[in-house]
Amino acid sequence: MTGRAHVVDATARLRAALEQAAGALAAADRDQLLQGELALQLALEGLASRQPPEGDQRRALRAEVEGAGRALARCRRLGDVLLDVVRVSLEAQGRAPSYGRRDTQVVARGLPGVTARG
């Protein structure tokens, strides 16, 4: 495999890993999300090649990058929704989102205007 083809393949693996993460977020499947972490790491490591693609490989790379961008945007939207669900659930219980042993307050960046109070 040439360095140029390797970049396209690594980008395709990145897109697939992001799509897996989006699917796991949509299904609220923590285990699947954690399993996808290694695939994401390996895909990013594969992008270390510096050779620019040529011709058809350039078009293939562009398509994969655009697909990865769409998958990343989906992950962000689903992550924002998940944060809002957790925050609203905790507010409904009279609790604030916290993390760790000392219940350090967390600032969630969910969707603007979504509260338990409506």
Alpha-carbon Rg for the chain, nearest whole angstrom, is 18
Q: What is the pLDDT of residue 15?
A: 95
- For 62-107, write each residue's pLDDT tens digit: 999 999 999 999 999 998 888 888 888 888 887 766 655 555 555 5
At 4 the pLDDT is: 61
Per DSSP, the three-state class of 104 is strand
Question: Contact at 8 Å (CB) between 54 and 107?
Answer: no
Distance CA(82)–CA(24), nearest Å, equals 12
Question: Quick one: pLDDT band at residue 118, thresholds 50, 70, 90?
Answer: very low
What spatial distance separates the first Cα and last Cα of the chain, rounded to whole Å?
A: 55
In the predicted model, is pLDDT for residue 8 greater than 60?
yes
What is the DSSP secondary structure assignment for residue 2, as one 8-state letter?
Answer: -
Q: What percent of the chain has pLDDT over 90?
A: 29
Q: Are 64 and 7 in contact (CB under 8 A)?
A: no
Q: For tokens 């693996």, what's the residue?
A: 13
Query: 80 near 87, Cβ under 8 Å?
Result: no
Tokens (6 digits) for 117? 């109070």
Segment 48-70 mean pLDDT: 85
Domain locations along the chain:
3-105
113 vs 80 pLDDT, higher one = 80
Q: What is the mean pLDDT of the chain?
A: 80
Mean pLDDT confidence for 22-51: 86
pTM of the model: 0.68
Tell me which H or E stretch contains 50.
Answer: none
